[in-house]
Amino acid sequence: MKNITLKEIAETLGISITTVSKALKNYPDVSPRTRQAVMNLAHQLQYTPNSFAVNLRTQESKTIGLIIPEVVHHFFSSVINGIIAEAEKNGYLVIILQSNESLELEKKQVALLLSKRVDGILMSLSNESNDDEHIREIIHKGIPFVQFDKISKLIHSSKVIINDQLAAMQAVQHLIDNGCKKIAHIRGPVNPQNAIDRFLGYKKALEKNTIPFDSSLVYTCQRVSFEEGYAFAEQIKKEHPDVDGVFVITDLVAVGVLAYFNENQIRVPDDVAVIGFSNWFMSQVITPKLSTVDQPSDEMGTRAFQLLLEQMIARRDQKPFQAQTIELKTAVVQRESTRKKS
């Protein structure tokens, strides 16, 4: 039951701890004979180094922290997938924390990870985040750090993002190209950068097509939920019966919109076209199939980790490191909810 240590190997072999350690780590200054003996015994005894001791000695834990707003979320779970796969491939483990979109929790969790002395931190901001203190703390402490998806533009760090503004423009343009004249937008909360950018993209697309912007056509989610989509769909139809296109902040909400339309004999896309964002799995199985903007979630995870790894290596080797921003490609994917109008 007791875990075996270098000391025990050393004692049974009648040599020093130092030599055992060196034999195991392929140091050149140990004879083939002793190395073999050590290796054999270590293997036979199933020796595994005590990682607590290794951590203390080397001052690194080969563990990174990940803070995301939500785990039960198709997009984020895909990102997690990418991160832990890439991390494991490179010998790192991932501790996952969930901010539940709460700034307060997010701050606690940053402190927690810092006190745990993870080798790096990966983070997507909560919707409440309008305050940077805790993030600056990470950077100030010199902990490798990269933001992805929901980022703060004010923080100088590596980032993996998409061009939300452009993607949103393309989505709205797609609506227009399919004959929509009056387009509503169900946007995300006020703080997150991507909600802001998508809103800006919406505005720009209208502008480009000389469609006047009407702020009463913009509906703002608080919780970004299915229920909100459902409720806003109803509200839109009440307040603007002639709306013929809706651009929705994310697929989950868009599915709520579709649910209301379906239940109330409002034909999609004939009466109203709907386009979502993120390309959740769900979108391809509902009726009508939801058009959306595809966003490479898995890749976002792997790239984010790679960036973090670069920075962790630079730190270990005391080399300078330049923060980088990677912008991933998005693509409008057309499905049934935006078929062209005759």
Partner DNA sequence: GAAAACACCGAAAACGTTTTCGATTTGATA
Partner DNA sequence: TATCAAATCGAAAACGTTTTCGGTGTTTTC
Return the residue matching tokens 């909600």.
195
Site membership for its own copies, residue 326 (CB under 8 A): no
Q: In whole angstroms, how close is the CB of 207 to DNA at the nearest point?
A: 57
The span from the CA of 71 to the CA of 274, in Å, is: 26
The pairing of strands 292-294 and 331-333 is: antiparallel
74 contact choice in DNA, its own copies, none (CB below 5 to 8 Å, kind-dependent) = its own copies
Residue 201, phi-psi category: left (phi > 0), alpha (psi -120 to 50), beta (remainder)? alpha
The span from the CA of 201 to the CA of 172, in Å, is: 8
Question: Which of these segments, 33-41, 133-141, 217-225, 260-268, binds DNA (CB under 7 A)?
Answer: 33-41
Site membership for DNA, residue 45 (CB under 7 A): no
Q: In whole angstroms, how close is the CB of 67 to its own copies at the nearest point?
A: 11
Q: Give the residue, chosen from 84, 176, 249, 272, that forms a contact with its own copies under the rule CB under 8 A.
A: 84
Q: In whole angstroms, how close is the CB of 86 to its own copies at the nearest point?
A: 12
72 contact choice in its own copies, DNA, none (CB below 5 to 8 Å, kind-dependent) = its own copies
Q: Where are the beta strands (DSSP E) in the chain?
A: 63-68, 93-98, 120-123, 145-148, 158-162, 183-187, 218-220, 245-248, 273-275, 292-294, 325-328, 331-333
Site membership for DNA, residue 5 (CB under 7 A): yes
Question: Which of these segments, 125-133, 139-147, 159-167, 317-325, binds its own copies (CB under 8 A)?
Answer: 139-147
Binding letters toward its own copies, positions 202-231, x by CB under 8 A: ------------------------x-----
**Stretch (H or E) spanning 108:** helix 103-116
Site membership for its own copies, residue 98 (CB under 8 A): yes
Q: Find the radius of gyration of the CA atoms of the chain.
A: 26
In the Cβ-directed half-sphere of 188, how many Cα atoms lie within 13 Å? 23
Question: Which of these segments, 9-17, 141-149, 150-158, 220-228, binds DNA (CB under 7 A)?
Answer: 9-17
Q: In whole angstroms, how close is the CB of 116 to DNA at the nearest point?
A: 13
Query: How open is the CA angle 251-252-255, to the nearest 5 degrees?
Result: 80
Binding letters toward DNA, positions 52-91, x by CB under 7 A: xxx-xxxx--------------------------------
Site membership for its own copies, residue 97 (CB under 8 A): yes
Site membership for DNA, residue 179 (CB under 7 A): no
- Tokens encoding 187: 């946007």
173 contact choice in DNA, its own copies, none (CB below 5 to 8 Å, kind-dependent) = none
- Tokens encoding 129: 């985040």
Return the residue matching tokens 């270590």.
42
Q: Where are the beta strands (DSSP E) in 86-220?
A: 93-98, 120-123, 145-148, 158-162, 183-187, 218-220
Q: In whole angstroms, how close is the CB of 161 to its own copies at the nearest point?
A: 21
Site membership for its own copies, residue 279 (CB under 8 A): no
The amino acid occupying position 261 is F
3-state secondary structure (DSSP) of residue 216: helix
Site membership for DNA, residue 18 (CB under 7 A): yes
- Tokens encoding 269: 């896309």
For binding to DNA (CB under 7 A), which residues are involved? 3, 5-7, 14-19, 21-22, 24-25, 27, 29-35, 47, 49-50, 52-54, 56-59
For binding to its own copies (CB under 8 A), which residues are involved? 1, 48-53, 55-56, 59, 61, 63, 71-74, 77-78, 80-81, 84-85, 88, 93-98, 112, 114-117, 140-142, 226, 255, 258-259, 262, 281-282, 285-287
